[in-house]
Structure 1
Amino acid sequence: MVSISFGFGFDDLNDDYKLVRVTDVKSFNQILPKHVVYREVMVYSLNQSTWKLAERVKDPIDSLMVTQNGALIKNHLLHWLFSDSDHCRIGCFDTRSDKWVRDVPLMQLMAACKRSLGVINGCLCLSTTTTSSGILWMLKDYEAKESWIKLFHVTPLLSSHSFQFTQPFFCFPRESKYEVLLANVDRDGLFWFDIGQPYGRIKSVKRIPAFVGGCLFTESLVQIRGGRHIT
């Protein structure tokens, strides 16, 4: 069994765009089905047009939680969730040095919940969700554990709208400061949740194909070398 996740960042020290691939190869042993045999981190450099091995670790103590691609902060810091039987952590990979740096401080979390990382307004965000409700946390100060704040809480009232809050999409529309785009993965849909209303007004996104996954991007006037403009 293999778990793979990607992250894209910019190395401003070397003026280089980099694609990072984190791979966990897990055991097929039924006694230890989640045991990671080894973890491999590969980095692709756009300047050099080559892949290089950044890390290969045998029997890491935790496992990569593949909920989405790496969450990017400050253009060069990519983040992934890792967990073992006792705790969860946020690992940070620096595309400047092509190395893991110190973990991001994390608050105490519920044991039985799904977790997913994202970014809103340049701040790292973490969702903790169950089948009926969810909380979106934001790290206001990147260096301080105490700066995690509860951005909003999606209540069980969502069940009356036939939605299950399974994964955030971490996106605010340009015309609103209160609506956030959420992914209803189990039912193949996207919807807006209004954090400015007492019970969260829900508005489905119409005329889209079946939703499987997605990622956010930042528009730029600078074209990536070797890329082509898409209209």
Structure 2
Amino acid sequence: MAKSLKHDTYSMEIISMDILINIFSRLPIKSLLILKSVCKSWRSLITTPYFTNLHLRLNSPSSEKLLIFVGEDHSLYSISFDFPSFAPIRIPCSSTWERFSRRKTIVGSCNGLLLCICDESSVSEALLINPSTLPCKRVPKLQVPNNCLYLSYGFGYDTLKEDYKIVRIAHFLRASFGWETMDVSVGVYSLSSDTWKLVCNVVASPFGTPVSHNGALVNNHLLHWLVSRGSVGEHRICCFDVCREEWTEVKLPFIDTDVSYSGERDLGVLDGCLCMLITGGDVWVMKEYGVQESWAKLFNILDWCVIEPLNIVPIAYSNEGNEILLRKDMFSEVYWYDVSEKRVRNVEFRCLPKYRQVSVCIRSLISLCGTS
């Protein structure tokens, strides 16, 4: 009888774990963070790579989005898309983050992880942080060449190796051609190995002069930069695949030349699709990735007092889908654009300290693997 009872108890433990995974994988992040404190076995389950990836896969389409702000005090603040009228929450980052008091810039996010760059004069360091679970990782330094003009960054996920990667592009001026032609050195950082490697060093650049400094991420592994080549300002989109670690070119939309190649432009990602904004207010979206004919003009921002003289980048749809959140790059002012009414309104956040940058990130449990 005792043996049978012991066997039944063991069976129930196995069944219970399957049931827990089934239930937990459908719960919101906030609930799971509370459940981690209930007991060691639940904490162990919720923090396993299997569970965190399962939760991300099941909830990704409906994941809660966060607006992440970098304050003038170098702190991070978050506001939920679900409750935009609520006061912002200061993210209690680890000592790794706090040790960097100099200027921080958000490069982008992937699966709930943020890549931030800390710049001070010639020093440039990268930090990875999960604003939902709070761990922060200081990325090893990659030497910046003495003749480097500036750096571009991107952040994505290698689906083949299940590895998060940072792409750093060091831009060199080719002296014999002035500003029209540049060379680059491309370094790729692997989170799993915690190391950098050079994938192409001082080669003829597909870039020319970058118009956008941070890579626009599509499908989690395709990073895009808008570049200008030649004295007439010929533009193109260069794409770096973090899985294959190779460059390709993405065709621009068919636009009237007089409109297409005049004024400022920038790249963004809207609802998972690559998008481009042209000074004058036209926002174009590539509805089927890689198909030039799928570029479609989404809307035109008519409020010129908003879009001039600085670029606007669309960053997200509202939960209802009737408005698009726009970010003005230099000062990171934030606006809602009503698609049906064709109106722009300023967004004011209650009790939010002065901030220098804003970005969008989903909530996730993805780990930074043994970080402080």
TM tier, smaller? 0.7 to 0.9
User: Structure 1 pair 11/53, CA: closer, same or farther in 2 (3 Å)?
Assistant: same
Which residue in 1 is equivalent to 2:370?
A: 226
Which residue in 2 is equivalent to 1:200?
A: 343
Which residue in 2 is equivalent to 1:44?
A: 189
Match of 1:107 among 253, 259, 264: 253
Deviations 1:2-24 (A, max 9, x none): 23211111112112111001121
Contact 1:171/1:181 (<8 A) preserved:
yes
Match of 1:117 among 239, 254, 267: 267
Q: CA deviation at 1:211?
A: 5.2
Q: Percent identity?
A: 32
User: Structure 1 pair 64/48, CA: closer, same or farther in 2 (3 Å)?
Assistant: farther
Which residue in 1 is equivalent to 2:155?
A: 8
Report the Cα distance in structure 2 between the residues aligned to 1:62 and 1:7, rounded to whole angstroms. Answer: 15
Contact 1:39/1:57 (<8 A) preserved:
yes
SS of corresponding position for 1:217: strand
Where relative contact order (Cα < 8 A, 6+ residues apart) is larger, the structure is: 2
Report the Cα distance in structure 2 between the residues aligned to 1:40 and 1:162, rounded to whole angstroms. Answer: 34
Match of 2:277 among 115, 122, 127: 127
Deviations 1:156-212 (A, max 9, x none): x443x79756221421222x3121122234565221111110x41423334545554
User: Structure 1 pair 140/73, CA: closer, same or farther in 2 (3 Å)?
Assistant: same
Which residue in 2 is equivalent to 1:216?
A: 360
Match of 2:325 among 165, 181, 185: 181
- After superposition, where does 1:26-175 map in structure 2 within 5 Å? 26=173, 33-60=178-205, 62-85=207-230, 86=232, 87-100=234-247, 102-109=248-255, 110-129=260-279, 133-155=280-302, 157-159=303-305, 166-174=311-319
User: Structure 1 pair 162/49, CA: closer, same or farther in 2 (3 Å)?
Assistant: closer
User: Structure 1 pair 27/104, CA: closer, same or farther in 2 (3 Å)?
Assistant: closer
Aligned amino acid, residue 94 of structure 1: D
User: Structure 1 pair 151/223, CA: closer, same or farther in 2 (3 Å)?
Assistant: same
Contact 2:210/2:226 (<8 A) preserved:
yes
Report the Cα distance in structure 2 between the residues aligned to 1:45 and 1:203, rounded to whole angstroms. Answer: 39
Contact 2:331/2:356 (<8 A) preserved:
no
Contact 2:182/2:207 (<8 A) preserved:
no
Q: CA deviation at 1:52?
A: 0.4
Contact 2:335/2:347 (<8 A) preserved:
yes
Report the Cα distance in structure 1 between the residues aligned to 2:262 and 2:307, rounded to whole angstroms. Answer: 22
SS of corresponding position for 2:293: helix
TM-score, normalised via structure 2 length: 0.52
SS of corresponding position for 1:170: strand
Contact 2:211/2:265 (<8 A) preserved:
no
SS of corresponding position for 2:155: strand
Contact 1:77/1:93 (<8 A) preserved:
yes
Q: Which has the higher strand share?
A: 1
Q: Which has the higher helix share?
A: 2
User: Structure 1 pair 15/167, CA: closer, same or farther in 2 (3 Å)?
Assistant: same
User: Structure 1 pair 202/72, CA: closer, same or farther in 2 (3 Å)?
Assistant: same
Report the Cα distance in structure 2 between the residues aligned to 1:186 and 1:7, rounded to whole angstroms. Answer: 19
Give RMSD over aligned pairs.
2.7
Q: Which moved more, 1:214-223 or 1:111-120?
A: 214-223
Contact 1:10/1:16 (<8 A) preserved:
yes
Aligned residues: 218
Q: Where in structure 2 are there 5+ consecutive unaligned residues?
A: 1-147
SS of corresponding position for 1:14: coil
Report the Cα distance in structure 2 between the residues aligned to 1:18 and 1:36, rounded to whole angstroms. Answer: 27
User: Structure 1 pair 162/116, CA: closer, same or farther in 2 (3 Å)?
Assistant: closer
User: Structure 1 pair 2/11, CA: closer, same or farther in 2 (3 Å)?
Assistant: same
Report the Cα distance in structure 1 between the residues aligned to 2:286 and 2:236, rounded to whole angstroms. Answer: 14
TM-score, normalised via structure 1 length: 0.81
